Amino acid sequence: MSLVVQKYGGSSVADAASVKRVADRIALYAKAGHQVVVVVSAMGDTTDELIDLAEQVTATPPPRELDMLLTAGERISMAVLSMALNDLGVDARAYTGSQAGVITDEVHGKAHILKVTPGRIQDALDGGSVAIVAGFQGVSHTTKDITTLGRGGSDTTAVALAAALEADVCEIYSDVDGVFTADPRIVPAARRVPYISCEEMLELAANGAKILMGRSVEYARRHGVPLHVRSSFSGRIGTLVTDQADRLVPVDPDLTIPAAEVVHLDAGRPSKEDIVHSNREEGLEAPIISGVAHDSSEGKITVVEVPDIPGKAALLFDVVASSGANIDMIVQNSSTVDDTVAISLTLPEADAPAALAAIERARETIGYREVRYDDQIGKVSVVGAGMKSSPGVSATLFRCLGEAGINIDMISTSEIRISVVTDVHRLDDAVRVIHSAFGMDADQTEAVVYGGTGR
Enumerate the known binding-site residues. Answer: 7-10, 47, 74, 185
Residues in CB range of 347: below 8 A, 6 or more apart: 298, 299, 301, 320, 325, 326, 327, 328, 355
* Residue 61 binding a copy of itself, by CB under 8 A: yes
- DSSP string for 214-228: HHHHHHHHHHTPPEE
C-alpha 273/C-alpha 289 separation (Å) is 20
Distance in Å, CB of 215 to a copy of itself, minimum: 25
* Residue 50 binding a copy of itself, by CB under 8 A: yes
- SS3 label, residue 407: coil
Q: Site for a copy of itself (CB under 8 A): which residue of 71, 137, 148, 422?
A: 71
Q: Binding site for substrate: what residues are annotated?
A: 47, 74
144 vs 185, beta carbon nearer a copy of itself: 144
**How would you write 66-130 as a 3-class SS string?**
HHHHHHHHHHHHHHHHHHHHHHCCCCEEEECCCCCCEEECCCCCCCCEEEECCHHHHHHHHCCCE
78 vs 383, beta carbon nearer a copy of itself: 78
Residues in CB range of 165: below 8 A, 6 or more apart: 3, 5, 37, 118, 121, 122, 125
Distance in Å, CB of 12 to a copy of itself, minimum: 14
* Residue 106 binding a copy of itself, by CB under 8 A: no
* Residue 119 binding a copy of itself, by CB under 8 A: no
β partners of residue 115: 103
Q: Site for a copy of itself (CB under 8 A): which residue of 3, 45, 51, 86?
A: 86
| DSSP-assigned letter for residue 59 | S
* Residue 69 binding a copy of itself, by CB under 8 A: yes
Q: Which of residues 167-186 bind a copy of itself (CB under 8 A)?
A: none
* Residue 426 binding a copy of itself, by CB under 8 A: no
Q: Site for a copy of itself (CB under 8 A): which residue of 1, 144, 310, 336?
A: 144
C-alpha 345/C-alpha 332 separation (Å) is 9
* Residue 439 binding a copy of itself, by CB under 8 A: no
| One-letter amino acid for residue 101 of the chain | G
* Residue 64 binding a copy of itself, by CB under 8 A: yes
Q: Site for a copy of itself (CB under 8 A): which residue of 31, 33, 87, 128?
A: 87
Residues in CB range of 149: below 8 A, 6 or more apart: 104, 110, 111, 112, 113, 136, 137, 138, 156, 157
* Residue 80 binding a copy of itself, by CB under 8 A: yes
Which among 13-21, 33-41, 177-185, 195-203 is the span making contact with a copy of itself, rule CB under 8 A?
13-21
* Residue 53 binding a copy of itself, by CB under 8 A: yes
87 vs 370, beta carbon nearer a copy of itself: 87
C-alpha 22/C-alpha 6 separation (Å) is 10
Using an 8 Å Cβ cutoff, are 145 and 139 in contact? yes
- Residues binding a copy of itself (CB under 8 A): 16, 19-20, 23, 50, 53-54, 56-62, 64-66, 68-69, 71-73, 75-76, 78-80, 82-84, 86-87, 92-94, 99, 120, 144
